[in-house]
Chains A and B, each alone.
Chain A
Amino acid sequence: MSEKVLVQVKDVYKHFGATKAVDGVSIEVNKGEICGLVGENGSGKSTLLSLLSGIQKRDKGEILLEGKSYNPKNLTDANKHGVSMIVQEANTIKGLTVAENMFLGIEDEFTKHGVRNIKMMNTLARERLDAIGLKDINEKDDVIYYSMEQRKLIELVKAATVKPKLLMIDETSTALSQTGRDELYKLIRNTKERGDSVLLISHDLQEVLTLCDRIIVMRDGKIVSEVKSAEIDETGLKNLMVGRTVSGGYYREDYDTKISDEVVMKVRNLKAGKRIKDVSFDLHKGEILGFGGLSESGMHELGKAIFGIEYDVSGSVTLENGEEIKTIDDSVKHDIGYISKNRDTESLFNQMDINDNIAATCLEKIGSKGFVTAKKRREFADEQAKVLSIKMKDVEQLVGTLSGGNKQKVVLTKWIARGTEIFIMDSPTRGIDVGVKAVIYGMLDDLRKQGKSLVIISEELLELIGMCDRIIILKDGEISGEFARSKELGEETLVQCMV
C-alpha cells in the first residue's frame, strides 16, 4: 500500500433487515484529499460514514486506517484515532454549555486530581469561538439557547479543535446560511492544507464540485462511479446518481404567468417574538410566494407566526372573508397547512405507520359518524400515497424507516389529503436529494396550477428564484426587498438585500 493512502475501506457490508444500506463497498481516501460522497437519499452515504465514525458497526469487511485495522467503538473512540464527524442532525447535547460541548469526550485534559478546571475550559472555548468570529455565542450558555445553525457552528469549532486526520461531514451546509457555509469551507480547506483528509456528503452538487478533488457516487448501497471533479459537471453527476438521464432543470419553466388579483391572505404589521418586527404582505390565489433571508432574519418564525404557532404575536393575519387567524385551530379549520423545517421533531410521528401519519389531520373527515376503522384509514392512505408515489413497502411501514425525501412526501401528502388551500412550507427540500426534489417541485407547481396558494420559506436562493412568483427578502425581522419572477433575477441581487 502506498504511503499516501489514509483510509482504506475493503468490501464492507451493513444490512438493516432486508435493507442493504451498504453493500460491498470499497473506497480509498488519500492524505490531503477532499473527497465528495454523493447519491440519492437512501443510497447508503450516511451509513457508510457512520461505520467509519463508529456510530454503527459493520456486518462484514475491513477498514484500514494508515494501514492498521480500524474498529472504532463509538464516536469518542473514533476521535481518539483522529477521525471526527459532523452529523446531519444536531449533535450537541442540550443541558451542557457550549464549552462543555466543544470539549466533549476530552474533558480529562482539563481535569487535575479529579477536579475539572472549568475556567480553563471556558477560556479556551472563548478563544476558539473568537478565532472564527462567533462573537454572539457565549461559551457559558446552555446550547439549548442557540439555533440549529449556531449549534452546527459550535460543532464546526469542535471539529476544528480536534484537528482530525479524517474529517467527515454529513449534509451540513443545508442547515447553514452563507456565513456559516463560508466557515465550513474554510474548515475543509484548512484540513486539506494541513495534509489531512475530508469526506464530504452534500446534496448541493455545485458545492461538491467546487470543493472536492474526487467524487464518489453511491447508489443502492454500492459505489457506482468515482470521478475527478474537474472531469464532470452538475448534470453529469445527477445522471450518475439517478442512473438515468435527468431531463433539463427541475424548476418551473414559465415566466409570464400573471398572478391573480384575488388576495387569499392578508398579513398586516405582524410582530412576533424577538425576531419578527414588522411584516406586511398579501398572498394571492394560485401564487407561490417565497421568503428568503439569513436564518436569523425571522423568516422561519414568520411561517410559524402565520400558522398560529408562535406566542406573543401582534398585528393581524386575515383571510379573504375577513376572518382572523390566531391559533393553529383557526388555520387548519380554514384549510391552511404548515410544513416544518424540522421534519422529525415537528411534523412526523416516526414510530407510527405511514397511514397514521397521512390520516393525521383528516381522521374526522374520513370517518363516518365519528368512527374510523383501520381499513378505512389504510384505503385512504393507499389512495393518497399514490399522489406523490411514496417509495414504501406498504402503508403500514413505520415512517421512521423511510428516507428523508420520502418522509417529506408523507408530510406533504398529509396536508394535500386534507384539501389544504394555503400551504406554508419552511425549507421544503431541506436535506433531500435531486430525485425527490424534482418530484416535490413538480408537486408544488401542480398545486399552484390547481389554484392553491403557497408560501415557501427557504435558505436556498436558487430554489426561490426557480419556483416563486414573487420573492420577499427579510432582514432583521423586516422586509428589505421584493422581487417579481423573472429570468434575469440572480442570486447576487437577493444576497445584497439580505445582508
Chain B
Amino acid sequence: MKRISKDKIFEAVKPYLALIILILVFAIGTKGQSLTTKNIKIVMEQSMALMLASTGVFFVMTTGMMDLSISGVVCVCCFILAKIGEINPVLGVVMMLVTGLLLGLFNGVITSVLKVPSFLATLCTAYICTGLMTHFIASSAAMVPLSLYSFNTFGFKLPLILALLILAAGLFYLRPFGHYVRMIGSNETAAHFSAIKVTKIKVLCFVINGGLAAVAAFLIGIRAGTAALSTGSDLMFNVMVALTLGGFPFGGGAKAKISAPIIGSFTTYVLSNGMLLMGVSSTAMSLIKGGLFLGIVFLTSPTFHRLTDRISTKKKMSLSES
C-alpha cells in the first residue's frame, strides 16, 4: 500500500521537481544570471501566451482529441487584431476574440458533429489559416495599433492571466463540465451511456481552446507589435513540450491535471531562456527541445514501464533465488 501512495506522490511532484532542477542547473550554468529579477520577469512574460494556449489545448486533449491548429489560429487572431485594430482598437480586440471562438467552433463542429478525426480536421484548419494569412499578409507584416502597446505591462497581463487560469481551473475541477471532459477522455461510450452530452462538451472544449488562443494572440501581438506569417508558428510545438514537461498523460484524459499546462509552460521557457543565456544557438535549442520531448514521451510510455517492470522482476527473481 505504502509503495503505491509513494509512487503517486512522486508522480504528482515530478513536474515541479523538473522545474526546480532546471532552474538550479541554469542558475549554476549562467552563474546566477538567470536568477536576476529582470530575467525572471522576462521568463514569466514569455510564458504567459504559452500558458493560455496550452491550457486551451489541454481541454481538447483531455477529451482524447488533438489540436494541431493552434499556431494558425493564433496567427489569424493576431492579424484580425492588427487589421481591424487600425480602424478601432476596441473593435479589433472584440473581433479577435470572436475570430478565436469561431475558429474553435469550426474545429469543434468538424471533429465532434461531423466526426472527422481531430488529427486531420485540425491539421486542415491549420492549413486553411496559413493559406488565408499568406493571401492577406503577402510579404509585409500588419502592424498592431500603437494604442494597444500600453497594455503590454506586467501589471495588466499578470492579473489577466491569473484570472483566466483560475477560471479554467474552476471550470475543470469544480464544475460538472470538467468532470464530463475527463470522463469522455476516459471512456467516451460509457460517458454517452451515462447521458453526458458528449458532442456538446467536445465542441465547447474547442471553443474554449479558440478563445484562449485569441487571448494568447493578443499577448503575442502587443509584445511583437506586428502580425506576420511567422506569428505563433513555434507555438504548436511549444504547447506539446509544455504539456509533456507539465506531466500531461498522453495516454488518456482521466488523470489529466490542469497544473500540467501551467507549470509546463513555465518550464519550457525556463529551458529556452536558460539555454539562450548559456549561449546555445537556436538551431541547437530546437534539437534539444525535440530530443527532450521524445525522451519524456518515451519515459512515460507503457513500453518503458514494461521494460522497467521486467528488469525489476528479474532482480527480484535473482534475489529470491540467491
Interface residues of A (CB under 8 A from B): 17-18, 57, 59-60, 307, 309, 328-329, 331-333, 338, 340, 345-352, 356, 359-361, 363-364, 367, 370-374, 393, 414
Contacts and interface: CB of A to CB of B under 8 A. Distances in A.
A361 B186 CA distance: 15
A17 B4 CA distance: 7
A472 B175 CA distance: 43
B175 A329 contact: no
B179 interface: yes
Interface in B166-205: 173-176, 179-180, 182-183, 186-187, 189-197
B204 to A, nearest CB: 15
B89 interface: no
A372 B176 contact: yes
B1 A18 contact: yes
B149 to A, nearest CB: 39
Contacts, number: 87
30 contacts: A57-B310, A59-B313, A309-B193, A328-B192, A329-B195, A332-B194, A332-B195, A333-B195, A338-B193, A345-B190, A346-B187, A346-B189, A347-B193, A349-B186, A349-B191, A350-B186, A350-B187, A351-B255, A352-B186, A360-B190, A361-B194, A361-B195, A363-B179, A363-B180, A370-B176, A371-B174, A372-B175, A373-B174, A374-B173, A393-B1
Contact of B183 (A307, A345, A356): A356
Contacts of B317: 59-60
B106 to A, nearest CB: 25
A346 B190 contact: yes
B115 interface: no
Most buried by B among A331, A333, A356: A356
Contact of B190 (A18, A332, A347): A347
B41 interface: no
Contacts of B195: 328-329, 331-333, 361
Contacts of B175: 370-372
Contacts of A331: 195
| Central interface residue in B187, B195, B252, by most chain A CB within 10 Å | B195
A393 B173 CA distance: 23
B3 interface: yes
Contact of B316 (A18, A59, A346): A59
A60 B310 contact: no
B94 interface: no
A255 to B, nearest CB: 34
A367 B179 CA distance: 12
Contacts of A372: 174-176, 179
Contacts of B281: none
Interface string B105-119: 000000000000000
Contacts of A346: 187, 189-190, 193
Given A329-B195, A345-B189, A367 B183 contact: no
Interface of B: 1, 3-4, 173-176, 179-180, 182-183, 186-187, 189-197, 252, 254-255, 310, 313, 316-317, 320
A262 B207 CA distance: 47
Contact of B313 (A57, A333, A364): A57
Contacts of B310: 57
A332 B195 CA distance: 6
Given A356-B183, A371-B174, A351 B3 contact: no
Contacts of B1: 17-18, 393
B190 A349 contact: yes
Nearest to B320: A60
Contact of B193 (A328, A351, A367): A328
Contacts of B192: 309, 328
Contacts of A340: 193
A50 to B, nearest CB: 14
Nearest to B252: A351
B175 to A, nearest CB: 6
B9 to A, nearest CB: 14
A338 B183 CA distance: 17
A349 B4 contact: no
A10 to B, nearest CB: 13
A361 B179 CA distance: 11
A414 B193 CA distance: 12
A25 to B, nearest CB: 15
A357 to B, nearest CB: 9
A342 to B, nearest CB: 9
Nearest to A333: B195
A360 B254 CA distance: 13
B182 A363 contact: no
B183 A352 contact: yes
A237 B48 CA distance: 66
B4 A348 contact: no
Given A60-B316, A352-B182, A363-B176, 9 more contacts: A59-B316, A309-B192, A309-B193, A349-B186, A349-B187, A350-B186, A360-B194, A370-B176, A372-B174
Contacts of A329: 195, 197
A328 B195 CA distance: 6
Contacts of B189: 345-346
B12 to A, nearest CB: 13
Most chain B beta carbons < 10 A, residue from A18, A340, A360: A360
A59 B316 CA distance: 7
Given A351-B252, A352-B186, A372-B174, A414 B194 contact: yes
Given A60-B316, A350-B187, A367 B182 contact: no
Contacts of B193: 307, 309, 328, 338, 340, 346-347
A351 B254 contact: yes
A484 B320 CA distance: 61
A349 to B, nearest CB: 4
Contacts of B187: 345-346, 348-350
Nearest to B179: A363
B190 A348 contact: yes
Most chain A beta carbons < 10 A, residue from B186, B252, B317:
B186
Contacts of A18: 1, 3-4
Contacts of A363: 176, 179-180
Nearest to B176: A363
Contacts of B320: 59-60
Contacts of B252: 351
A144 B220 CA distance: 48
A367 B180 CA distance: 14
A364 B176 contact: yes
Contacts of B179: 356, 359-360, 363, 372
Nearest to A393: B1
Contact of B254 (A328, A333, A349, A371): A349
B11 to A, nearest CB: 13
A145 to B, nearest CB: 18
A370 B176 CA distance: 7
Contacts of A374: 173
A374 B1 CA distance: 22
Pairs of residues from A and B, 7 with the lowest C-beta to C-beta distance, nearest first: A332-B195, A363-B176, A351-B254, A349-B186, A352-B254, A371-B174, A18-B1
A378 to B, nearest CB: 13
A18 B313 CA distance: 15
A359 B176 CA distance: 10
Contacts of B174: 371-373
Nearest to A336: B195
